[in-house]
Structure 1
Amino acid sequence: MIIRKAVPSDLNTILSLTPLAIYDGTLGEVMPSEEKASSMSKALLEKGGFYLLAVEQDEILGWVLVGATKDSFTEQALGFVYELYIREQYRGQGHSKPLLKAATEHFRQQGYEEVRLSARVGNRAIRIYEDLGFMTKAVSMSLNLE
């Protein structure tokens, strides 16, 4: 497996799978249209975000979408992991950690002091994030009024 930055020819495959990536990341709560998911991803790409891919024999195994943001209180520049996705047939084979390590190393080289991400409660990837040193910093709560 190699990790590399996505090139334009990779985007069709990535964007076609992005609704499923969002669905999995929200634990089945949200299944956006391909158009909505594509527009969300393209907005991040236009702001300098990019995909790092795990690739084996020209097959995309998964990716991480990364970009920059700012802390809403302090305005501190932060690296942000917007999406981590491993295609179902390649899960459980150890691809997530190298992708996340590559992302955090990119941010370190760019001079960022902190990297953040968001995950739904119950997401199995939380264990991977914790293994890599991510810590819970905030809790988002919801009350269903229906």
Structure 2
Amino acid sequence: MSIRKATFKETQYILDQALVVLKDSSMGFVQPSIEKASQIMTPILADGGYYLVFETNQIIHGWIGVGTIYDFYTDETVGTIPEIYVFPTYRKQGIAEKLMREAFRYLAREGVRKVQLNVFAGNKAKKLYEKLGFHDVSTLMEKNLMND
């Protein structure tokens, strides 16, 4: 088992999975499309972001996207986790937690003091994020005006 930065070829493979990741993570709140899926990580990668992969015997079990963004509310650069995914076969084995902790180490070495992520309502991963010390900062609320 190892966690390391993804190679260029692995990054391309991960980007090819973007639609599956979007469907799985957005809990039905997003109408998945290739365009939307690619918009999540592409800007982060273009700005120096990267993927970390969890592999065993050269088989990728999951990955995490890691980057930095400028937080206009706090006027500081913060780490961001725009994507984390573990293939269903490998879930419930602690892989996501190991990926998160390794991402924290990478970001800390880069001088980042905070990390942020977005999670859709109903996503079971929120429990893991809370276990790792994440807390709610803001809530996006929505009302469908077509039902009035």
* TM-score, length basis structure 2: 0.91
Unaligned runs of 5+ in 2: none
SS of structure 2 residue aligned to 1:3? strand
Is the Cα–Cα contact under 8 Å of residues 51 and 64 in structure 1 kept in the other structure? yes
State how many pairs are aligned. Answer: 146
Q: Deviations over 1:30-72 (max 9, x none)?
A: 3533354235433221111100111111111111101101112
Q: Distance in 1 between matches of 2:113 and 2:76?
A: 9
For the 8 Å contact 2:5–2:51, the answer to whether it is kept is yes
What is the identity, as a one-letter code, of the residue corresponding to 2:56? Answer: E
C-alpha deviation, 1:26, in angstroms: 0.4
Q: Given that residues 3 and 54 in structure 1 are in contact (C-alpha distance below 8 angstroms), is that contact kept between their aligned partners in structure 2?
A: yes
Q: Structure 1, unaligned stretches of length 5 or more?
A: none
Counterparts of 1:94-113 in structure 2 under 5 Å? 94-113=94-113
Moved over 6 A (4+): none
Residue 35 and residue 71 in structure 1: after superposition, are their counterparts in 2 closer, same or farther (change >3 A)?
Answer: closer
Which has the higher mean CA deviation after the structures are superposed, 8-17 or 129-138?
8-17
Partner residue in 1 for 2:129 = 129
Give the alignment's TM-score, normalised by structure 1.
Answer: 0.92
Matched to 2:29, the amino acid is: E
Q: 1:31 to 1:59 in 2, by over 3 A?
A: farther
